[in-house]
Each structure stands twice: as structure tokens, then as C-alpha cells.
Amino acid sequence: MAYTAIASNIVSGTSTASITFSSIPQTYKDLIIRVSVNTTTAAPSQGSLDMRIGSATGSYTYIYTSDGGPAVISAAAGIKFAECAAVDYANRFSVGEITINNYTKSTSEKRIGGTFGYYNRFSANPYMRLFTTESAGSSTNNVAAISSLTFYSQFGGNLANGSRFDLYGVS
């Protein structure tokens, strides 16, 4: 299995509403996105990292698991991968990896998975919090090849300065 760097996006200077990888080459088997992210959202429970595939909105169904156990989310605007809010940990970023299997196939649903963690310094006993997401995303009913991905914070905050997104193709 060989990894090839396709593109990187780093939020520099000021925050931004979203990061988009467009015109993703259709020459690999899978995609890996490595992320280090924080948001400008003030409320800890509202900062999130979400992903849209192409222009599809409002049609995502996925299972999101954190320390509260798994929850099935449906008809969401995007797929949630992590919680990350400036007030909760201003200088600590959520880090993780997202895998999209068979992203070029136009005859099958795409399997999407991600694991993220962050350090919660406000707990009486500081801890790492782990989030996992398993999804067929909008691909449950849409088998089109994936050519663009957009990352954003669902609840109004921006992606904070220093957030980094690295896209890799896997042969």
C-alpha cells in the first residue's frame, strides 16, 4: 500500500469558514485525510469538524461514537468527525484521520470512517476523548465517484488559524 500526497490546506493568518479539496484525481483506490483542527466556536459542545461530499447536503446518515456511546445521525448536513471548540481547548487541536474506501467507484457505496481525539483540560481529571465515525455518507443512495470534499464547522464557527488538512491517495 503506497501513500501519495495529493494536496494540503493550512489555515493561515485568519480563520476560514471551510476548506475544499476539489478536482481530486481519480487515480487511486482510497483516500486518506489527516487533520489537525480547532474552531472559533465559543461553546465547547458546538465546535465540530464536519465533511460534505461534493455538493450533497442534508442526506448524510452515519454512526457517531464518543464517550457517551454510539448515536445514529440521519438527514444531517454533513458527516461529523470531531468536537473542537476554542473555549474548550484554545491551543489544543483535535487530531485524526479519515479514510474513504473505493472513492472512484461509480457502482458501489463508499465506506467512510474516521477516528479523532482531543485533550480535555477542563475535566477534573484531564483526559483524551476519542470519537469514531462510520458512514456510507450520502453514498447510501449515491454511488457517484467522489471528486471534491469540503470541511467546515457545522455550528457557525470557523476553522481556526493553524488547522491543517492533508489529502493522500492510496494505491
Task: Tell me whether residue 17 is in a domain.
Answer: yes
Average pLDDT of the chain, as a whole number: 78
- Tell me the whole-structure pTM to 2 decimals: 0.82
Give me the pLDDT at residue 62, please.
73
Q: Which domain covers residue 9, as residue numbers?
A: 3-96+107-170
Instruction: Copy the grid coordinates of residue 151.
Output: 470541511
- In this prediction, the residues of the chain whose per-residue pLDDT falls under 50 are 126-127, 137-140
Give me the pLDDT at residue 115, please.
81
Alpha-carbon distances, residue 117 vs 13, 40, 77, 143 (angstroms): 25, 18, 22, 30
Give me the pLDDT at residue 41, please.
75
Task: Tell me whether residue 101 is in a domain.
Answer: no
CA 85/CA 43 separation, integer angstroms: 6
Give me the pLDDT at residue 15, please.
92
Neighbours of 142 (CB within 10 A): 16
Give me the pLDDT at residue 137, please.
44
Q: How many domains, in total, are found in the chain?
A: 1
Give me the pLDDT at residue 16, please.
93
Task: Tell me whether residue 102 is in a domain.
Answer: no
